[in-house]
Amino acid sequence: MSAGLAAYAVAEHNSRGRARVEPAPEGRGEFQRDRDRIVHSTAFRRLEYKTQVFVNHEGDLFRTRLTHSIEVAQIARAIARALRVNEDLSEAIAYAHDLGHTPFGHAGQDALNECMKGHGGFEHNLQSLRTVELLEDRYAEFDGLNLMFETREGILKHCSPRNAALLGALGERFLNKTQASIEAQLNNYADEIAYNNHDIDDGLRSGLITLEQIEDVGLVAEHLRAVRARYPGLNERRLIHETVRRLINAQTLDLIRTTEAAIREAGVETLADVRAASRLVGFSAAMHEALRPLKVFLREQLYWHYRVLREMNKAQRIIRELFEAFMAEPRLLPPQYLQRSREDKPRAIADYIAGMTDRYAMKEHRRLFSVGEP
């Protein structure tokens, strides 16, 4: 067992390894190598210019897919350390979980999925996996990043039975109803903790939601009152940061305590026990219930705000029109995608579009549809 890790953590000795065997790394572990490969990948750098909620050109201070992934990694690593599971694996999964996301956030994904109906559909978790297994072309001896099995497993949060059947060993858990590692499970919640709380911050910064509105949202209101009581007269910017910080801390601690109790109650001792058990990582019933109004509030007041929807409507039109133009004339594709399109035209086009940043997609759209654009 690796020093300091719980017996049920993923470690090199109980890992299923890499699809292509490589010499062991020097001076770092296998999961550190995974993390480093992801951070140095082209797809990771592109996340800087991909939408989280607000389109990239709307402001410099809003979260992007890159800053979101870094925040998820920080939360995931803190939870992993508390649970004594593999921090390097947890961090690697966090950095990779959005690599396959389209430009323009979920609106872009929905539009591309609609375009791909009848061609296998599009789902960003599967695209993230496809990115690390095939599309990254950095290494002389293999396509993709040749990541460890457990890193790839953690990237795949959910999967339909039809797609799972095509993934071999990686898809087995979706067919036989077993679980992923603790490291993979905790990343799902680290992602949720990050976006719920930081979307509050971005929503307030944008002016689309107000402090007065969130005073009526139970869990937020509780921490907002506590901050005001302790720091009377605190300016609004610091008040928001202090409240969000406390919200993240409360959810993280609740997750750790609830998960520790679930592990004890299930009698989990090995990684095999984790896979055979019911899902172990999660919030308490009380926290789950407290988060419900916050999610409803963010959906109705921020994600469905008319200004956000207007931008998303434009974004979806860009995605659809790009897809249609390339389907009608694939010779408009760059050479590497044109070559791949000869085997599967719709999937090659989806790969190209999904890899675009927000501003590149807008520029490519102008190139194809605006007279005079180079």
Instruction: Let me know if residue 240 belongs to a domain.
Output: yes
Cα separations in angstroms, 52 against 102, 107, 358: 10, 10, 11
Tell me, yes or no, whether 81 lies in a domain: yes
pLDDT digits (tens, 9 = 90+) for 139-176: 999 999 999 999 999 999 888 899 999 999 999 999 99
pLDDT for the residue 179: 97
What is the domain range of residue 212?
12-309
pLDDT of residue 206: 84
- Residue range 242-247: average pLDDT? 95
Count: domains in the chain: 1
Q: How confident is the model at residue 129 (pLDDT cuts 50, 70, 90)?
A: very high
Q: What pLDDT score was predicted for residue 54?
A: 54
Q: Does residue 334 lie within any of the structural domains?
A: no
User: For 332, which DSSP code?
Assistant: G
- What is the C-alpha to C-alpha distance for residues 288 and 321, in angstroms, rounded to an integer? 40
pLDDT category at 1 given cuts 50, 70, 90 is very low
Q: Is the pLDDT of residue 58 over 80?
A: no
pLDDT tens-digit readout, 303-358: 899 988 998 999 999 999 999 999 999 999 999 999 999 999 999 999 999 999 99
User: In 131-278, which ranges are continuous DSSP H helix?
Assistant: 149-155, 161-164, 172-176, 182-206, 211-214, 218-230, 236-266, 271-276
Mean pLDDT of 257-277: 97
Q: Residue 80's domain is classified under what CATH number?
A: 1.10.3210.10
Q: Which residue has the higher pLDDT, 303 or 39?
A: 39
Instruction: Look at residue 93 and tell me whether its pLDDT is greater than 60.
Output: yes
Q: Is residue 251 part of a domain?
A: yes
Q: How far apart are CA 201 and CA 244, in angstroms?
A: 7
Spatial CA neighbour of 247 closest among 290, 305, 188: 290
In a domain, 242, yes or no: yes
pLDDT at 57 over 60: no
Report if residue 117 sits inside a domain.
Answer: yes
pLDDT at 202 over 90: no
Give me the chain's average pLDDT, please. 93
Instruction: Using the predicted structure, report yes or no on whether residue 101 has a pLDDT greater than 70.
Output: yes
Q: What is the mean pLDDT of residues 115-143?
A: 95
In a domain, 89, yes or no: yes
* Pairwise pLDDT comparison (231 vs 2), residue with the higher score: 231
- Residue 34 domain-assigned (yes or no): yes
Best CA proximity match to 199, nearest among 282, 113, 326, 295? 295
18 phi/psi in degrees, rounded to 5: -105, 150
Place of tokens 């929905």: 110
Question: Among 61, 45, 42, 44, which Cα is nearest to 53's?
Answer: 61
d(CA 66, CA 95) in angstroms, rounded, equals 8
pLDDT tops 90 at residue 55: no
What is the pLDDT, as a whole number, of residue 59? 45
The stretch 6-24 carries a mean pLDDT of 96
pLDDT of residue 285 exceeding 90, the answer is yes
